[in-house]
Amino acid sequence: MDFELTPDQEQFRSSLRNFVDKEIMPVAREWERDGRYPTEIVEQMKRLGLFGLMIPEEYGGADADFVSFTLMFEELSRGWMGIAGILGSHSLSCWMLARHGTEDQKKRYLPELATGQRRTGIALTEPEAGTDLQGIRTTAVRDGDQYVVNGSKMWITNARFADPLPVLVKTDTTTTPAHKGMSVLLVEAGTPGFEVTKDIPKLGYKGTESCEVVFDNVRVPAANLLGGAEGRGMQQVLSALEVGRLNIAGRSLGIAQRAYDEGLDYARERHAFGKPIADFQAIQIKIADMATQLQAARLLTYWSASKLDRGDRADLQTGMAKLFASEVALQAAQDSMRIHGGYGYSAEFEIERLYRDSALMVIGEGTSDIMRTVIAKALVAGKGRLGW
């Protein structure tokens, strides 16, 4: 049994770590406070090839393994989770397009998505439906060689830069179960009637926008129906969300690592009653628990990534990794904040941002309770085997 990263993965992590230390850490607090879009960092991520990580080489991507994919989100989120958001839905939609798109769709979009010249996101959630995706109301009615799309979406990250934006729609509202009438359409930016109407104000996860978008009689060519056949949208999206869960688990590791680092440093430096607070057993217990939980989350996450690398379905494993790592991030941010005492509540310390950002980890790409239902369903159906 080998728990080491391969030399390529080590090298990838090390170059990302340098990049995060030099380019992201020094500006994160100020840029996030000012609500500044991190354009310069995006340009550097393009140069590093990060937008093409999940795209096959024949379309100009790196065709990376899922462990490297996880490392990317972990390292970026150690610096600033909002930056990881720019690559999150982009990467999962690129993967979905590479896996389910027609050859024409792949040739049209993937090469530019790989360089970051084009970027993307994913539009699933609606004002009245998030977890219950079969309850969406956005419709696409066929009219000759086009679809006419009407409806709205909520919380769409990267909406202002996505081109094309994959949108989950109902192409048939009469089917039972509803998912048999659902499809994904690739909607290009600037198509008349497609409008990003609002940036939703958020607790954290700044640096990247999350928006409300509206479709008012938007005409989308039938050639932009993902995979070329109606009724496959839910299946396409669910397979992408498996990859998405791994991205959130990776981000959670980055947040938890930084919260731990900040807590440990602070505990060594801060003195009370004539000694460093790190000498108090109550603080040591927090440090020990944070480190142990973090390492357990990391092993679970890399293990679930390696399952995907073997080509297996991994709902159970990625569900476990997302559930556990996100709860560890939330707890680590809170424990580190307690170690910081009153300063943890100050916007001048990193832990304040980590605390706000950690809350999203237990919501995005399926809440913790939904992860529990995903895990339980797989176990009850006999699809998942525990152990190695």
Active-site amino acid positions: 365
* Bridge partners, 221 (sequence order): 146
| Identity of the residue, 263 or 364, whose beta carbon is nearer to ligand FAD in the bound complex | 364
Number of residues that bind ligand FAD (CB under 6 A): 23
Return all residues near 93 (Cβ < 8 A) that are at least 6 apart: 120, 121, 122, 166, 240
Q: How far is CA 339 from the centre of its chain?
A: 28
Which residues ranging from 64 to 103 are in contact with ligand FAD (CB under 6 A)? 89
Reference 52, options 113, 140, 123; nearest CA is 113
Q: Is the peptide bond before 177 cis (omega within 30 degrees of 0)?
A: yes
Nearest approach, Cβ of 164 to ligand FAD (angstroms)?
A: 14
- Please answer whether residues 212 and 142 qualify as being in contact, where contact means their C-beta atoms are separated by less than 8 angstroms: no
- Please answer whether residues 316 and 378 qualify as being in contact, where contact means their C-beta atoms are separated by less than 8 angstroms: yes
Return d(Cα 126, Cα 137) in angstroms, integer: 8
Instruction: Report the residue from 125, 152, 183, 252 that binds ligand FAD according to the rule CB under 6 A.
Output: 125
Site map (CB under 6 A) of ligand FAD, residues 129-158, x = contact: -xxx----------------------xxx-
Which residues ranging from 199 to 228 are in contact with ligand FAD (CB under 6 A)? 202, 205, 210
| Identity of the residue, 143 or 369, whose beta carbon is nearer to ligand FAD in the bound complex | 369
Instruction: Report the residue from 112, 148, 367, 377 that binds ligand FAD according to the rule CB under 6 A.
Output: 367
Does the footprint of ligand FAD cover residue 363 (CB under 6 A)?
A: yes
Return all residues near 373 (Cβ < 8 A) that are at least 6 apart: none
Does the footprint of ligand FAD cover residue 246 (CB under 6 A)?
A: no
Nearest approach, Cβ of 193 to ligand FAD (angstroms)?
A: 20
Nearest approach, Cβ of 87 to ligand FAD (angstroms)?
A: 12
Reference 179, options 233, 110, 118, 255; nearest CA is 233
- Interface residues with ligand FAD (CB under 6 A)? 89, 121-125, 130-132, 155-157, 202, 205, 210, 360, 363-364, 366-367, 369-370, 373
